[in-house]
């Protein structure tokens, strides 16, 4: 495949970061399909860790909404970036950190799809990032908010995808130890 072009939207591990948005106890309690959401976010995080891709996570007003849910936090590295704005554009200098690390592709997961996730995705797009949103790693309280937000993000340039699609794109080939490790996570 040396002289065969790959599509530029395909994720590349050396250009990618994961952003986990506001998966906090109080918010999580009222999300649709929260058990599936947790399961799929954990799969995504574990796969990202196998690949050595940088991860960031935010907490919206933790004093009122609590910390990141234990099932998710146990898998994450580093400290939460606390924010009061809905968009992560207001989470300190997060966007600048991504640019400094030559990150051009951001995988976004979290809650709620139609509020913090959508605003962050649109702001990332406005700042020149390619954004991938695995649909099985975001949620809202209502189905209409969830579906409308996915459609809106896609209309403005976000790639709507799934956990497995993201992980296999990042792997690129099936002959590595990382592939074997991720195959175990997905099953």
> Token pair 């506001």 is at which residue?
22
Specify the number of domains making up the chain. 1
Percentage of residues in the chain having pLDDT higher than 90: 83
Asked whether residue 118 is domain-assigned, the answer is: yes
pLDDT tens for 36-59 read 999 999 999 999 999 999 999 999
Confirm whether 2 is domain-assigned. Answer: no
Record the pTM.
Answer: 0.95
The answer to whether position 64 is within a domain reads: yes
- The HSE-up count of residue 48 (CA atoms within 13 Å, CB side) is 26
Contact 31, 40 (CB under 8 A): no
The CATH number assigned to the domain holding 107 equals 3.40.50.850
Q: Tell me which residue range forms the domain holding 36.
A: 13-186
- The conformational region for residue 110 under phi > 0 = left, psi -120 to 50 = alpha, else beta, is left
Query: Is pLDDT at 1 greater than 80 in this prediction?
Result: no
* 92-111: pLDDT as tens digits: 899 999 999 999 999 999 99
At 87, list the tokens: 């968009």
7 occurs within a structural domain: no
Active site residues: 22, 83, 116
> Which pLDDT belongs to residue 187?
84
Angle between helices 118-126 and 143-155 (to 10 degrees): 10
Count CB neighbours of 76 within 10 A: 19
Q: Is residue 95 part of a domain?
A: yes
**For residues 101 and 99, what is the distance between their CA atoms, to the nearest angstrom?**
5
Asked whether residue 20 is domain-assigned, the answer is yes
To which residue do tokens 């996730």 refer? 117
Q: Are 10 and 62 in contact (CB under 8 A)?
A: no
**Secondary structure (DSSP) of 123-162:** HHHHTT-EEEEEGGGEE-SSHHHHHHHHHHHHHTTPEEE-
């Amino acid at each position: 495949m040396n002289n065969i072009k790959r599509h530029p939207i395909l994720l590349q591990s050396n250009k990618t970061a994961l952003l986990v948005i506001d998966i906090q106890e109080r918010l999580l309690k009222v999300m649709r399909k929260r058990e599936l959401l947790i399961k799929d976010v954990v799969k995504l995080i574990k796969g990202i860790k196998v690949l050595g891709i940088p991860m960031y996570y935010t907490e919206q007003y933790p004093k009122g909404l609590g910390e990141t849910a234990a099932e998710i936090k146990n898998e994450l590295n580093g400290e939460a970036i606390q924010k009061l704005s809905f968009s992560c554009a207001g989470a300190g200098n997060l966007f600048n950190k991504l640019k400094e690390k030559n990150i051009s592709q951001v995988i976004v997961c979290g809650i709620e799809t139609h509020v913090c996730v959508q605003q962050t995705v649109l702001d990332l797009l406005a700042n020149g990032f390619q954004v991938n949103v695995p649909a099985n790693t975001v949620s809202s309280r209502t189905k209409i908010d969830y579906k409308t937000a996915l459609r809106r993000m896609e209309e403005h340039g976000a790639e709507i995808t799934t956990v497995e699609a993201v992980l296999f794109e990042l792997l690129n080939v099936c002959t590595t130890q990382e592939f074997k490790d991720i195959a175990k996570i997905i099953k």
